[in-house]
Chain A
Amino acid sequence: MSPMDTLERELLDARADRGEARGAPLVWAEAQRRATPTTGDAGPWAWPYRLVLVGCLLVTAFGVLPGTNGIFTTRAADGELPPAPPHLPLVIGGAELIEVDEPGWTRSLSAGLPSEAPRTVHADDTARPTRILAVPQPNAIVSRDQILSDLASIGLDDPESFVELDDRGFVTVDAPDLMVIAEFGQDPDTDVRRYTFSDVDETGARPLPLVAHLDVVIDDSSAGWRTIVNNLLLERPETIEYVTAEVDGRSVEVTLLGEVAAVWTLDGDTFVIVPEPTGGDEVALTELVDRIEVADTAAWLAEVDAAEPRDVIDVFGVLATIVLVGILFGSERVSTPRQLIPFAFVVMGVMLSGLNPLLIEVTPTVGRWWVAINLAFVVLLIGYVLGVRRNGWRLEWPTIAEREARDEAERASSS
């Protein structure tokens, strides 16, 4: 060994002896704990991690489940409509229950149909369930007690319990003034399928549509209305849900609910409910829209259109839920804070998904950009899943050195 080598050796020796060694047992124990954090002993970060994931799942669920009316609602529930234009003059009064003695139709519960109420009722050809309808009547308010009394008069036990059957999220049992639509099965005495009602606010304006999922035909022989409704349904059933129009000299309000439409006159005395498109005279939608009395129809329709990307959000929400559930089941392996870092963007993505509907409601333009950001997160999620898969379904991001070492070990074992 040359003198120079001796110098270098001293240098290296001194460096090799630096610091205080922890000792073999301590290093062994710590390395073993890090390498096997799951066997019966979840890491210290497992529970915080699980809590975060459960929170994400809840947020996602609120965003995904139809019919949830919270901040994170992603799409309107079936039958739930955008807010009506504010100047609608419709005043909903009380309710009268219609008596129809023909087979397959509902029975009347209270006498005295209003003079302007539908006089002609066409029986449904199909074997649809019968219904009891609450008919709006001008300047009359029906109380909740009256409704319950009416229901009790047809022999329904504990009618108050039917209030709970409402499935549209605006149950207000204690509200004194309500509009009611009760839906019954084949046997109106026992088979109550749906009991829907809505508040009537102080001004008498109806805050929410009253009719949902009605597929009976009650017609006052105004064929023109049906044509209009049919055309509406045929043209844009997915976007137009609620319009008012001047038709045949009468102001009507048309509510489209999937394949069902309800047309109400604005003076509240007559209405027609059409089950599904049946053809008839052609009245173009454009022509109808031209006659729409709503002041800012275009803006309102744009608002409805803006809600369409919610479908995308639903897809993202479902995807995020699946991924989160999968990760939750794998959370046993989480033992260090570093392993939580990759989930940060997953959490962020879910939260963005939850905020999407809110933003769309407020500003459709921003909302659409938000949807684009969400789509980017979908890509990240897919990349993340692929990364986890490549990592042998382990949750942490290995360092380059760890990955190389692991690959080397696998190569050695296979050879």
Chain B
Amino acid sequence: MRPDDPTPTPLGPDEWRRLYPRLRRFAAVVADADMEPDDLVQDALASVLASPADPRHPEAYLRAAVVRHATDRRRRAARWRDRLPRLAGPTSTSDRYPSDDELLARMAPLDRAVLHLSIVEGRPHDEIAGLLGLTATAVRQRAHRARKRARIVVEDERTNLREVLS
């Protein structure tokens, strides 16, 4: 659903069941490796349910909330790591996945969100802008930079792989 769709959609259990798989995948991309995607989704949903007014477009609201919660958690984790370097230990509390490489770990949650929406979900930039509360220009710039960074990392990995094989 596009965020500029004028028809408000109430968020009930049925609508939630429809949105959940997409949101969960989205949260898994946006979240750092040590964050549970479901936690982010749940926090976002709680924000919606506790808000004084029903958002006109729950999906857009939830996606924006997921990104903000991820950003907030990341910021807090960084603060703790700075303050308690000895106690912090390994930053990840969950298993690392084979695909969970340095590329995604280095990106900000918002960049990952832009990449996911543009590459995986194939949404145009103006729609992503509506979903994430950004301007279309900002989305274009973020997507461009994120792709550029991704390609550098991927190329590096390929080079390293070739060197190892040779």
Residues of chain A at the chain B interface (Cβ within 8 Å): 4-5, 7-19, 21-25, 27-28, 30-32, 34-36, 392, 399-402, 404-406, 408-410, 412-413
Of the candidates B44, B53, B100, B147, the one whose C-beta lies within 8 Å of that of A412 is: B53
Interface residues of B in 84-139 (CB under 8 A from A): 94, 97-101, 103-104, 112, 115-116, 119-120, 133
The residue from A15, A27, A405 contacting B51, defined by CB atoms under 8 A apart: A405
Min CB gap A36→B, angstroms: 7
Q: Is B56 an interface residue (CB 8 A)?
A: yes
**Which bracket fits the contact residues of B?**
35 or more
Contact across chains for B56 and A412 when beta carbons are under 8 A apart: yes
Q: How far is the CB of A33 from chain B (nearest CB, A)?
A: 9
In B67-86, the 8 Å CB interface with A consists of 68-69, 71-72, 75
Q: Which of B29, B44, B49, B56 contacts A15 (CB 8 A)?
A: B29
B147 and A8 within 8 A (CB): yes
When the two chains form their complex, are residues B49 and A412 in contact, meaning their CB atoms are under 8 A apart? Answer: no
Of B43, B54, B133, the contact of A408 (CB 8 Å cutoff)? B133
* Chain A residues whose C-beta falls within 8 Å of the C-beta of B100 in the assembled complex: 14-15, 18
CB distance from B109 to the nearest CB of A (A): 11
* A16-B26, A412-B55 known; A28 vs B13 contact (CB < 8 Å): yes
B11-37 near A? 1/0 per residue, CB < 8 Å = 001001100110011101100000011
- Which has the most chain A C-beta neighbours within 10 Å: B50, B56, B116? B50
Known: A16-B28, A410-B51. 8 other contacts (CB 8 A): A9-B119, A9-B120, A11-B101, A17-B28, A19-B28, A31-B49, A408-B61, A409-B51
Beyond A15-B29, A412-B56, A413-B53, whether A21 also contacts B24 by CB under 8 A is yes
**A13: which B residues are within 8 A, CB to CB?**
120
Within 8 Å by CB of B20, from A27, A35, A405, lies A27
Residue of A nearest to B94 (CB): A19
Is B120 a contact of A12 with CB atoms below 8 Å?
Answer: yes
Report the bound CA distance from A231 to B27 in whole Å: 80
Question: Could you pull out 8 A-B pairs where Cβ atoms are within 8 angstroms?
Answer: A4-B147, A4-B151, A9-B119, A11-B101, A18-B37, A24-B21, A30-B42, A409-B55
Q: Which of B37, B56, B68, B98 is the one whose CB lies under 8 Å from A400?
A: B68
Return chain A residues, CB-CB under 8 Å to B17: 24-25
Select from chain B the residue with minimum beta-carbon distance to A32. Answer: B49
Which A residues lie within 8 Å of B20 (CB)?
23-24, 27-28
CB pair A22 B61 closer than 8 Å: no
Give the residue among B51, B53, B64, B65 with the most A Cβ atoms within 10 A. B51
B154 at the interface (CB under 8 A from A): yes
